């Protein structure tokens, strides 16, 4: 298999595993991403648009639906009285932690057929591609996530 096909097919594979983990927790993949991003801290709507690659109207709808489910809340931005930040609720923090842990477990199983050195090589090469393209940190390393915002 060539590089392009391998990268595209692996992205579909990871997305499918991630989406199934989200569905198992009653989330859409986009809600799962939002919760994972907010695990680190609350963010403003503009920051979330950039991190998630969404238009403002799409993000507003996502936040509205996730807020209606009691998983996030809007709070005043201390730096700008006209703006709001989005933060996890206690229920959202618990669900984010559970979803994140399960998604990590499932994704960690994907390269199970590789030996430790191959896994390290794969991680290093993919990490370089991600860093070279300045991909936003919508999903942190398991040891870097901090549940509860």
Q: How confident is residue 138, by pLDDT bands cut at 50, 70 and 90?
A: confident
Q: For residues 12 and 10, what is the distance between their CA atoms, to the nearest angstrom?
A: 5
Predicted confidence (pLDDT) per residue in 44-87, tens digit: 999 999 999 999 999 999 999 999 999 999 999 888 888 899 99
Query: Rounded distance, CA 86 to CA 78, Å?
Result: 12
Average pLDDT in the 86-94 region? 97
Residue 24 has pLDDT above 70, yes or no: yes
149, 41 contact by CB (below 8 A): yes
Could you give the CA distance from residue 15 to residue 53 in angstroms, rounded to a whole number?
16
Whole-number pLDDT of residue 143:
65
Tell me the pTM: 0.85
Q: Shortest CA distance to 32 belongs to which of 108, 85, 92? A: 92
* CA–CA distance, 35 with 29 (Å, rounded to integer): 10
pLDDT cut 90: percent of the chain above it: 83
Q: What is the mean pLDDT of the chain?
A: 91
| Contact between residue 48 and residue 37 where contact means Cβ atoms under 8 Å apart | yes
Whether the pLDDT of residue 146 is over 50: the answer is no
The answer to whether the beta carbons of residues 1 and 111 sit under 8 Å apart is no
Q: What domains can you pick out in the chain, each with its CATH number?
A: 3-132 (1.10.10.10)
């Amino acid at each position: 298999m060539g590089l392009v096909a391998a990268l595209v097919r692996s992205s579909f594979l990871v997305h499918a595993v991630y989406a199934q983990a989200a569905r198992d927790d009653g989330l859409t993949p986009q809600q799962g991403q939002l919760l994972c991003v907010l695990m680190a801290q609350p963010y403003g709507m503009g920051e979330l648009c950039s991190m998630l690659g969404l238009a403002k109207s799409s993000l507003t709808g996502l936040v509205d639906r996730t807020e209606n489910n009691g998983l996030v809340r809007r709070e005043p931005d201390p730096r700008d009285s006209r703006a709001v930040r989005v933060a996890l609720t206690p229920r959202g923090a618990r669900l984010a932690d559970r979803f994140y842990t399960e998604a990590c477990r499932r994704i960690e199983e994907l390269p199970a057929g590789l030996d430790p050195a191959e896994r390290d090589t794969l991680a290093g090469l993919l990490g370089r591609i991600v860093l070279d393209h300045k991909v936003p940190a919508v999903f942190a390393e398991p040891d870097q996530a901090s549940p509860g915002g």
